[in-house]
Amino acid sequence: MRSVTFDASSRRWLLRTPGTSYVVALADDDAPRCLHWGPALTAEQAASLPGPAAFGASSFDSTAGEEELVSEVGARFETPSLQVVLPGGDRGIEWRHDGHEIDGGHLTLRFSDRRHPLLVELHYRVHDDSDAIERWTVLRPQVPVTVLRCDSAAWSVPALDGYRLSHVTGGWSSEHALSRTELPVGETALTSRRGLSSHHANPWLMIDGGDAGERHGEVWSCALAWSGSWRVTLTRTTSGRASWTGGFGHEGLTWRLEPGEEWVTPVFAGVYAPDGYGEASRRWHDHVARHVLPRPDEPRPVVYNAWEAVGFDVNEANQRDLARLAARVGAELFVMDDAWFGGRTGDSAGLGDWWVNDERFPDGLSPLIDEVHRLGMRFGLWVEPEMVNPDSDLYRANPDWVLHMPGRSRTLLRNQLVLNFARPDVADWAHKWLHKLVSEHAVDFLKWDFNRAFTEAGRPGDPDQDRLWIDHVRAVYSIMDRLRADHPHLRIEACAGGGGRTDLGILARTDQVWTSDNTDAHDRIAIQRGFSQVYPARAMAAWVTDSPNPLTGRAVPLRFRFHVAMAGALGLGGDLARWSEAELSEAAELVAVYKDIRPVVQFGRLWRLPYGVQYVHGDRVVVLAWHGPVAFGTPIAPLRLAGLDPDGRYRDEDTGTVHHGAVLMSRGLPPLTPGGGYTSTLLRLRAC
């Protein structure tokens, strides 16, 4: 079966994934329209779909709908996907279809404007092992063009009785808070204007008819592969239709394209699932593993990060001591965090001076790295390449390297400014010192941080300075790509004050993301639940830290902290020197258990449970369940599992008890006994 086919008689294209179909057709005016996005169709069924129709009921209504990229020409009153100003002041595009190309699962639809030499390509890509449909747009002007908005794609869903929007909100240390609300009539904008995907929103959404749950109901979803500012605008019309358009940039930015330039947008992928939010998530996880992550089949190591133990008081002696303790509890990667470089003794100075502090490391980093390797761990470093403190040699020598405007003050956030990576000389400087650092110091891992949003985002003297919002992110991508190509052993974790840069664009270049600076296990349950809607467990860095938690002050048992963190890529970040012998021994036991279940958690399929998660991989099942304090007498329901063979039997690997799959899914496991505190459990099952 071909994944993309064309029916010339009806001017429509059928794209097929393993479980879904997508049908695009040309209207009479050549505008591309979506006829179907949902369950799989045969070619014959796709040919029988009603053709594109105008929706206008009066001279005040839009006459178009379900367009693949919404223009401004004609009676189109939805949010435009493509806003361009052409010579003479003409806006938008009057579609003229110029042909198409099918290359395996890649479909290119070519268009031009009927009056101006502006070429537009709509790209679609499907895979034989993923239900995601990847879409992006390419502009090729032959005349000067001003671009106000150029989205990657517009998406439409069938007419439903109602529309519910799922997305995440939050802030620093409260990322990925899941929100499910009715989509109001009118326009709803989801966006980041901060220069990164942000803590406050994330570039994905899900739409259902208001009747979906974890295991039932149709769900349509999209995710943008972009790590800078972005926007998605949803429209629900009074006539009962819903659609959205999205891409990079935000309101108020413009770009100037010259003749012969090529403007390529990031991928905006879509996934349809017939069986609820859980199935939508599993389809996203499969796609991310197979077509986004650079090393999807590599187990993520157990990390120990020294930040919460010593903060800025870094030196060779305390790092050696912590490395020995980290190795004792089973860590596989030791990461030294901030303050190993320049004159860095706090967050007010030294950022940008990327040479080893010879007072803290008199013989350089090699003795520490050698010791870490001798202990059987890999070695990693924290870096923040895109930032600079004004109190640094770098800034004093190059004050014009930062984002700034000549008539505005330079706002300090966390005592730092943003370096302008849209400048080739700045990006080249960053690549050179990173390449040297990795080459000369046997660095295996970089934690790449980004600790403030863009402000005063200008570049004096540049006639098209708004491009820096795009070009900066592209430069970050390029540097990461070059580092990985030059150092195949290098692994990278994306971080932006926690989870502020979490998206499919950064995941294509990194191995995992730092989910949140909030390591409180109780808070992490909700953070991780929101993260898991689109992103897989193997990409979710999750630490066990001290109790009481240094951020929230909440005291939580060690086992509870581990059980929550075991749901992702396990790490440790507490001050191990203050842990008791009993805590260190228990931690070592739990790390060993995690290494046993790691293939199931990191490579298995996820089912979210009412108060826990379940992973299935091959013949193994792992259940992690937890409860915080509840009032005495509060009933807790049994934990009903999912995704098992109802005719199968499953042996508890720890007790030997045999369970029937049908019983585990219908009656469930006995409920946790809260006992007034924090209770958790880990269950390992194997099909027998």
669 DSSP 8-state letter: B
C-alpha–C-alpha distance, residues 11 and 27, integer Å: 9
- Reported residue count of the chain is 688
Alpha-carbon distance of 175 to 499, in angstroms, equals 7
DSSP 346-389: STTS-TT--SB-TTT-TT-SHHHHHHHHHTT-EEEEEE-TTEE-
578: nearest Cα among 330, 318, 303: 318
What residue ranges in 128-287 does DSSP mark as E strands? 130-141, 145-150, 153-157, 164-169, 177-182, 186-192, 204-208, 219-224, 230-236, 242-248, 255-257, 263-264, 268-273
User: Known binding site for substrate: residues?
Assistant: 172, 337-338, 414, 447-451, 495, 517
Helices 558-565 and 521-531, axial angle in degrees (round to 10): 10
Whether 30 is a known active-site residue: answer: no
Looking up tokens 């105008």 gives 54
Q: Which residue has the tokens 């190059």?
A: 398
Given phi > 0 = left and psi -120 to 50 = alpha, else beta, which region is 53? beta
The active-site residue, picked from 131, 151, 353, 449, is: 449
Judging by DSSP bridges, how do beta strands 153-157 and 242-248 pair with one another?
Answer: antiparallel
Residue with tokens 């259940």: 623
> 570 by DSSP, 3-state: which?
strand
Residue 508 CA, chain-centre distance (Å), reads: 9
Amino acid identity of residue 149, one-letter, is R
Relative to beta strand 333-336, strand 303-305 is parallel
Q: At residue 83, what are phi and psi to the nearest 5 degrees?
A: -120, 110
- C-alpha 121/C-alpha 111 separation (Å) is 6
- Which one from 517, 520, 523, 546 is the annotated catalytic residue? 517
* Pick from 328, 326, 321: nearest CA to 303: 326
For residue 449, indicate whether it is catalytic: yes
Report the catalytic residues: 449, 517
